[in-house]
Amino acid sequence: MAVKKTLKKPNVSAEELLNFYREMLLIRRFEEKAGQLYGMGLIGGFCHLYIGQEAVVVGLESATKDGDKRITTYRDHGHMLACGMDPKGVMAELTGRQDGYSKGKGGSMHMFSKEKDFYGGHGIVGANVPLGAGLAFSDKYRGNDNVTFTYFGDGAANQGQVYETFNMAALWDLPVIFVIENNQYAMGTSQQRSTSTPDLYTRGEAFGIPGEIVDGMNVLAVKEASEKAVSHCRSGAGPYVLEVKTYRYRGHSMSDPAKYRTRDEVQKMREERDPIEQVRSLLLTGKHATDDDLKAIDKEIKATVNEAAEFAKESPVPHLDELWTDIYADELPQETA
Amino acid sequence: MAIELLMPALSPTMEEGTLSKWLIKEGDVVKSGDILAEIETDKATMEFEATDEGVIGKILIPEGTEGVKVNTAIAIISEDGDDMSNPSSAPTEPTAVKKDNTLVATALAAPTVASSNAIEFKPSDTSPDWPAGIEMKSMTVREALNEAMIEEMERDENVFLIGEEVAEYEGAYKITQGMLDKFGKRRVIDTPITEHGFAGIAVGASFGGLRPIVEFMTWNFAMQAIDQIINSAAKTLYMSGGQMGAPMVFRGPNGAAARVGAQHSQDYSAWYAMIPGLKVVTPYSASDAKGLMKTAIRDNNPIIFLENEILYGRSFDVPVMDDFTIPFGKAKIEVAGTDVTIVSFGIGMTYAMEAAEKLAADGISAEVINLRTLRPIDYATILHSVKKTNRCVTVEEGWPVGSIGNHLGATIMQEAFDYLDAPVINCTGKDVPMPYAANLEKLALLTTDDVITAVKKVTYR
């Protein structure tokens, strides 16, 4: 992975570092538990795990403020946890229960939280990219300085609508950060086999959108890049592209045997580049935390995740009447300016 | 604490599998992420990873075992090197799924009957669209649409207009004339020729709380954007459990114009009318256009507003009122009659009206129903009329297979079978792509004579 960016002296407080550790670990343990519940038949259909990619969303979220928006594709559990959605509600949606964020009607790929400005959770590769630009459009229309984080993968980066969106986002100076989470495989097709040029961060150049490549296994590098991109967008200078090089340890979805890459490739990444281990080692060598401190955090996270899993198992299945609700919004009051 | 490792389901359809290979042995220390075994599913051989740390206490299912049911205990892990000599000490999880299935079964058997596809009949609402004695003025459908949009944009700051050539060019069909001058470029926005992209941006803006009006230069080009219309706009309210939806209008001319050939001449009424989550509006007259457009812009759902190029220039009387709206799902009886019910919408109404006039000269009294919206659809008014006339002809420009007429015919058969004195006939466009040559195009289009022939057939004249 040819990413030059490494931080010599991290500009980060011990507290922030501990938060990163905690947030990334929550995603990892949550996803492992989701995998387990899938194995037990409690989660059905497609389930795409974020394991390995934790530093991307945690680093990016560190530069957000209230009012900022985020939207992503179907590998979305990490994004929801990182923006503060309740693990219980997310897990209950995965098990298709009434207490899930979408009352069990969305599932793993289609989850939303208006409260946390999380706009999905979209199952169609690339389709969330214009939607994200549209969210940014709504903020620009209102004249505030909110930014929309629009996440998509290296696979989606070859969709036509992405470039239609780049064009309009640049033309209209929309405050949107296009985050390309390049985990190097679009399902089973490696980037080399699908993409004519290797550097996705240059994909905005033709539209005049600045781009940058970031080591997505290093949460501090992601944080720094996120701050830069956010300040660009908030200042009204228009969109920004971040290609965040990352790696997913698991298959594309739960049913993917991942035969398109070697076990060694995965092992090497886990052993040498793991985002959580990197922070763990920074915390220990910098004497910001002891082994016991980290063990206590591990235990706390495990408890949170187990609690979410129990909640998701105990929550009732949706009432049958739910089949017929939320098709039309007529019960909502009509908003006027 | 000992943990049972259970045979995992590794695909959406897996019920059992082969434990082909253990990659660990008893006594091995494992940590989260280590690969424990290879398992053959109905689709592929998958690796099974550890999610807990500990020592492998006992392997319960030897490698090579076929037909291992999902959720069978296959090994025991001890978290802190516990004594594993008694593997039966921790049978914890396997009940979970059973419990879950029971829950589902109970829910399915619950006596509560959710509403179904059965049509809910309300009494036919035949109230007039405007109070008697009100001043009327003649205007074209084009002017009515323009006026409706302007009034609603004045009313609500969150409404904006976006599309190709809507601003500086003032609309390819001049529906948006004067709007840029009035509202400025913040609210009247020209786009590049990029339907998929700008439709998606507009849907995103509606998620963000704005109320976009998206003009498609014609609905033919909206096929580039149909994924955003259906997957993003129509389904999000449902998929989000009611948290957010797309309050917006997609509008533009629909159906055949004149001599523009196959790719520019298509009626999308039946396509969009199929989609739950959308509302579909097909105005005929200028008063329809004005009243329904205002309702559409105020509605909190994604609206498909199907106009027609040929109707744009036609003039009709429109009431002079401060705030004239027409509710969705309320058909209009344009001509009252007793011998046959003709049901149509949009441009189809021109053939229906002309046919009714000619039939009247032949002594046949036709009742003409203008549906105005296809979702919701005013079944009550249709059935009420058919029960009176005992005959029905449907009229639309679209293709015959899976048409609106098919759906109405089926509904009438189901709900008013005993009242019918003849089969329902669907008058539609011919089942061909639209040809260019003038004579062939004429042959492909629906005609007033088609309607007259159908009416004579059902009235046995």
CB within 8 Å: B243 and A35: no
- The ipTM, to two decimals, is 0.94
Rounded Cα distance, B378 and B370, in Å? 10
The domain ranges of chain A are: 17-313
| Span of A230-234, B72-76, B222-226 with lowest mean pLDDT | B72-76
pLDDT tops 70 at residue B153: yes
Exposure letters B333-360 (e unless 16+ CB within 10 A, then b): bbbebebbbbbbbbbbbbbbbebbebbe
Q: Using CA coordinates, name the residue in chain B closest to A116.
A: B243
Q: Using CA coordinates, name the residue in chain B closest to A38.
A: B9
Number of neighbouring beta carbons within 10 Å of residue A74: 22
Residues 106-165 of A with CB under 8 A from B: 106, 110-114, 119-124, 127, 129-139, 141, 160-161, 164-165
Predicted pLDDT at A331 = 54
Domain A17-313: give its CATH architecture.
3-Layer(aba) Sandwich (3.40)
Number of neighbouring beta carbons within 10 Å of residue B388: 15
pLDDT tops 70 at residue B41: yes
Exposed, middle or buried: residue B261 (CB in 10 Å: 0-12, 13-18, 19+)? middle
pLDDT digits 0-9 by tens, A221-230: 999 999 999 9
Whole-number Cα distances in Å, A92 to A88, B42, B243? 6, 27, 16
Place of tokens 């809910």: B120
Overall average pLDDT of the A200-226 stretch: 97
What sign does the CA torsion over B166, B167, B170, B176 have? positive
What confidence tier does A333 reach under pLDDT thresholds 50, 70, 90?
A: very low
Count of CB contacts below 8 A, A vs B?
Answer: 244
Residues 321-340 of B with CB under 8 A from A: none
pLDDT tops 50 at residue A337: no
pLDDT digits 0-9 by tens, B177-193: 999 999 999 999 999 99
Q: Which residues contact A27 (CB under 8 A, 6 or more apart)?
A: A50, A51, A54, A57, A58, A77, A78, A81, A82
Overall average pLDDT of the A301-307 stretch: 97
The top-scoring range by mean pLDDT among A35-49, A181-195, B360-374 is: B360-374
Among A289, A311, A297, A306, which residue's Cα sits nearest to residue A15? A289
What does the DSSP 8-state code read for residue B377? Answer: -
Contacts of B155 in chain A (CB under 8 A): 336
Overall average pLDDT of the B312-340 stretch: 97
Name the β-bridge partners of B317: B138
What confidence tier does B15 reach under pLDDT thresholds 50, 70, 90?
A: confident
**Percent of residues, chain B, with pLDDT higher than 70:** 91
What is the three-class DSSP state of B418? helix
Number of neighbouring beta carbons within 10 Å of residue A291: 10
Overall average pLDDT of the B412-433 stretch: 97
Given B40, B53, B151, B264, the catalytic residue: B264
Contacts of B6 in chain A (CB under 8 A): 39-40
pLDDT digits 0-9 by tens, B62-102: 999 999 999 899 999 887 654 444 444 444 444 334 334 43
What is the three-class DSSP state of B355? helix
The top-scoring range by mean pLDDT among A24-38, B11-25, B67-81 is: A24-38
pLDDT tops 60 at residue A8: no
pLDDT digits 0-9 by tens, A68-107: 999 999 999 999 999 999 999 999 999 999 999 999 999 9
**Percent of residues, chain A, with pLDDT higher than 70:** 95
| Span of A127-141, B65-79, B246-260, B446-460 with lowest mean pLDDT | B65-79
Predicted pLDDT at B144 = 98
Predicted pLDDT at B119 = 66
Residues 71-100 of A with CB under 8 A from B: 71, 95, 100
Residue A309 CA to its chain's centroid (Å):
21
